[in-house]
């Protein structure tokens, strides 16, 4: 049922004019009582340090397309090998405000997740119950924030998901509510 609700066309080819910084992430939902897999980034990173995010990263010339980027980065960051055939959809692109990346987000729904092995970019892996997380949605309308984008936040225990990751979760929530 979840796969049917979330499936969509996939457009993984980068629209690259040389000026846009491209990245992609993989939104992984798994289990019979669906959980979403997110990571807490290492505080030692130059950008997005300590943030709660989806596995993924910067597009490089060796990547065939942005889906290849998301799959490669997921494998590198958390040791999870997801194949292209396990990717069932894509969400609208989002732009990071602080680093200027245009992020493509792809979706995979899996039965289960094997033991993961994180690399130095990742502090920890979070296995978050999906529906309770989506129920924490709040508009983060800070009048001092001069953003042209919608701002949301989600919470899980003592963790706050905000920025591009929260906008991706909002796209997920919107698709589930249709």
The series of mean pLDDT values per 10 residues for the chain, 178 residues long, is: 88 74 96 96 76 94 94 97 97 87 96 94 95 88 54 91 93 90
As a whole number of angstroms, the distance between CA 151 and CA 48 comes to 16
What is the pTM for the complete model shown?
A: 0.91
Q: What is the pLDDT of residue 177?
A: 87
As a whole number of angstroms, the distance between CA 79 and CA 103 comes to 21
As a whole number of angstroms, the distance between CA 101 and CA 92 comes to 14
Q: What is the pLDDT of residue 140?
A: 60
Q: What is the pLDDT of residue 18?
A: 64
Q: What is the pLDDT of residue 129?
A: 97
Q: What is the pLDDT of residue 11?
A: 87
Cβ neighbours around 91 below 10 Å, total: 22
CA 21 from centre of chain = 16
Name which CATH class applies to 2-11+20-176: alpha beta
């Amino acid at each position: 049922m979840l796969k049917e609700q979330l499936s969509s066309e996939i457009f993984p080819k980068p629209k690259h004019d040389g000026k846009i910084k491209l990245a992609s992430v993989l939104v992984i939902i798994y289990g019979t009582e669906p959980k979403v897999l997110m990571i807490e980034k290492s505080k030692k990173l130059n950008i997005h340090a300590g943030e709660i995010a989806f596995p993924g990263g910067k597009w490089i010339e060796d990547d065939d397309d942005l889906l290849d980027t998301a799959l490669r980065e997921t494998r590198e960051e958390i040791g999870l090998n997801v194949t292209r055939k396990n990717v069932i959809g894509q969400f609208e692109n989002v732009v990071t405000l602080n680093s200027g990346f245009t992020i493509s987000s792809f979706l995979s729904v899996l039965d289960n997740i094997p033991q993961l092995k994180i690399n130095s970019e990742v502090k920890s892996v979070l296995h978050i119950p999906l529906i309770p997380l989506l129920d924490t949605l709040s508009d983060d309308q800070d009048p001092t924030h001069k953003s042209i984008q919608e701002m949301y936040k989600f919470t899980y225990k003592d963790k706050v998901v905000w920025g591009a990751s929260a906008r991706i979760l909002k796209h997920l929530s919107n698709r589930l509510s249709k």
